[in-house]
Amino acid sequence: MKVAVDAMGGDHAPSAVVEGAVLAARAHAIEVVLVGVRPQVEAELARHRIRGLPLHVHHAAEVVAMDDHPAQAIRRKKDSSLRVAFDLVKTGHADAVVSAGNSGAFMAGALLVLGRLEAVERPAVASALPTVSGGRALIIDAGANTECTPVHLAQWGLCGEAYARNILGIARPKVAVLSNGTEATKGTDLTRGAYALLENAGVRFVGYVEGNDVFSGRADVIVTDGFTGNVLLKTAEGAAAGIAEMMRQEIASTAAAKAGYLLIKGALGRFKRRLDYAEYGGAPLIGVDGVAILAHGASNAVAIKNAVRVARDLVQEDLRAGLIEAAKKASVLAEKRRGKREKTP
């Protein structure tokens, strides 16, 4: 079992990425292939104690930039670290890809090189947010697809349900559609269509949830289009950062508060770790034919380490058959619904 890590992708690449790979190899004994510009990757490796660790370097001369056009970058930069990482999986030299680089190019690479899983119409990004009950809520799609249909959302709901059961260990995951109100009449044509499919899908469907339900644990799997999913995740991130900053300003304003702050610092640290995306190990692409984990662009070494661990879990579990079955089920439901509609005048 080998995980190919795009050493050149991310705001803090290659240093944080290489360090993360070292941590994953050391903590979990995972075999990692660092793909990137060899002298740069080796210079970073030289800064760590790596003797005996299952680490390899695979040279790739080019780098996909954050502002490169996704599809063009993947097609033209054939010797880029990202493209080569996917090629390694395709040719059987690795079992999974992890990258913190250009997310559009990551998606394009997964589609072009690995391809879609049978029956899945559109692969999507699944991102896990922490909830107050100590669990996580999986948001799908967290940003890959801006144009969506009800079948896409229904497929993600059922695939996400399979993921939550098999990877997150939730016995009967609650599935929901993100909307602008909880009444079934709310939402858009897209959300109402997805609602109609999921309520008959034989899963624990809890209907619509709103943005404020995401952290409450009302649902384990929440489906939405990639535009809204991106806005949701970025807003949550921005709210957390904004709240931390406003608190810092408030606490700095009196001496008693400063003293109190020193006492609660430990608790705040634990709290911050719980919120920190770094602890959550990146977002898997659900529906591509292979394991591909997209880490946050701002990933530090811990985030990369956790993304590599999630990749390992996904390879070991092999959800392939379960995901195909889930996608097919959603398509059959949509087919039935179309048939019923055509019969009713």
β strands within the chain, DSSP E: 2-6, 31-36, 55-59, 96-99, 124-130, 136-140, 174-178, 204-209, 221-223, 283-286, 291-294
Q: Which is nearer to a copy of itself, 112 or 231 (CB)?
A: 231
CA atoms within 13 A on the CB side of 111: 18
For a copy of itself, the closer CB: 36 or 101 = 101
CA dist., res. 175 & res. 173, Å (int): 6
Residue 308 carries which DSSP code? Answer: H
134 vs 169, beta carbon nearer a copy of itself: 134
Least separation in angstroms between CB 332 and a copy of itself:
28
CB-based contacts of 96, cutoff 8 Å, min separation 6? 2, 3, 4, 89, 290, 291, 292, 293, 311, 312, 314, 315
Q: Is 199 helix (H, G, I), strand (E, B) or coil?
A: coil
Taking the complex as a whole, the smallest distance from the CB of residue 222 to a copy of itself amounts, in Å, to: 11
Smaller CB separation from a copy of itself, 274 or 338: 274
Task: Name the residue nearer to a copy of itself (CB basis): 2 or 218.
Answer: 218
Decide if 100 contacts 13 (C-beta within 8 A).
Answer: yes
CB of 72 to a copy of itself, least distance (A): 12
Supply the minimum distance, in Å, between the C-beta of residue 56 and a copy of itself.
Answer: 33
Query: In the complex, what is the shortest distance from the CB of residue 130 to a copy of itself, in angstroms, rounded to a whole number?
Result: 8
For a copy of itself, the closer of residues 253 and 344 by Cβ is: 253
CA–CA dist 334, 337 (Å, integer): 5
Instruction: Report in angstroms how near the CB of residue 15 gets to a copy of itself at its nearest.
Output: 24
Q: Exposed (0-12), middle (13-18) or buried (19+): which is 310, by Cβ within 10 Å?
A: buried
Do residues 129 and 139 make contact, with C-beta atoms less than 8 angstroms apart? yes
| Contacts with a copy of itself, residue ranges (CB under 8 A) | 67, 69, 130-132, 143, 146-147, 178-181, 183, 185, 187-188, 210-216, 224, 226-228, 230-243, 245-247, 249-251, 253-254, 256-257, 259-268, 270-271, 274-275
